[in-house]
A = this chain, B = another copy of it.
């Protein structure tokens, strides 16, 4: 990607950030059809080493001469400038690479629309011809889980040291993971963690996600992880599961888009005066809501 394209992509992403949900996505010149890039969603609790892992994955793809777009939705990620100095320095040489594009998305204020923005951003980066797109989120909130669930492969990263790893799985990560990565395998407690993980995975009756161990810091297990990813993409292309998965994701996106546009319309149609009146009454919340909705629909019918 040349500097001119980089600037164009950055600008389009900025326009995207400010886009009303009812407006159309900005279209780059000479855009490639969306859907050519494989998308890897990486999530997991704070401190699991997601960013270091992503750093390593991106470097491996570069060795394979593939270009990589990185979207960091995690506000604590070094990619978003949220980390301590050490991490930021480590990221530095990635940002100097022409085949790497990094974008961070704020989670603040984007409630509900965050998943939408992250996937839109991935589409835009995709259309610029990147081979792989990595989306990083902290895997606890619902929208963070939704985002990585909207990728082609969903990787959940854990650190064995904390007893919390297993508990996080209850947060819905279990259901969306295609692969569990137990990072920091050099730390003590890894064996015990793996045993606990196996126990929990065996209790579930649906498709068992794979489990790999890595030490992103030391570089251990990275080539196995790369093999897993590329093999997974090949398999899911060949057996049609990628196509099915993307079709399901399209339904979700369309529905979410409809809801966002209508929600936006609501507060354009309902007058601030009406809202004030209802808020300052002693009506219960749901009754107040119904009054406003009535005004919305009668307002609409008038037009």
Taking Cβ atoms with an 8 Å cutoff, the residues of A that contact B are: 21-25, 45-47, 75-76, 80, 82-84, 107-108, 110-112, 114, 138, 140-144, 146, 162-164, 166-168, 170-172, 247, 250-251, 253-255, 257-259, 261-263, 266-267, 270, 275, 278-279, 284-290, 292-293, 296-297, 300-301
Contact = CB atoms under 8 A, between A and B. Distances in A.
A145 to B, nearest CB: 8
Contact of A143 (B21, B111, B138, B289): B111
Contacts of A247: 279
B286 A22 contact: yes
A221 B141 CA distance: 30
Contacts of A301: 300-301
Contacts of A253: 285
Given A24-B286, A254-B288, A107 B171 contact: yes
A285 B247 CA distance: 12
B262 A262 contact: yes
> Copies of this chain, how many?
2
A45 B75 CA distance: 14
Nearest to A163: B84
B111 A171 contact: no
A152 B254 CA distance: 37
Closest 10 interchain pairs by CB?
A: A141-B141, A76-B167, A257-B289, A140-B140, A46-B164, A75-B170, A111-B142, A47-B164, A258-B289, A259-B263
Contacts of A108: 172
A162 B266 CA distance: 43
A43 to B, nearest CB: 11
A60 B70 CA distance: 48
Given A75-B172, A141-B141, 7 more contacts: A45-B46, A84-B166, A114-B142, A138-B141, A257-B286, A257-B288, A261-B290
A258 B266 contact: yes
A142 B140 contact: no
Contacts of A297: 300
Contacts of A255: 267, 275
B164 A111 contact: no
Contact of A46 (B75, B84, B162, B288): B162
28 contacts: A22-B286, A22-B290, A23-B286, A24-B286, A45-B45, A45-B46, A46-B162, A46-B164, A46-B167, A75-B167, A84-B166, A107-B142, A112-B112, A138-B141, A140-B140, A140-B144, A141-B143, A254-B279, A254-B288, A254-B289, A254-B292, A255-B275, A257-B289, A258-B266, A258-B289, A258-B293, A261-B290, A262-B266
A92 to B, nearest CB: 18
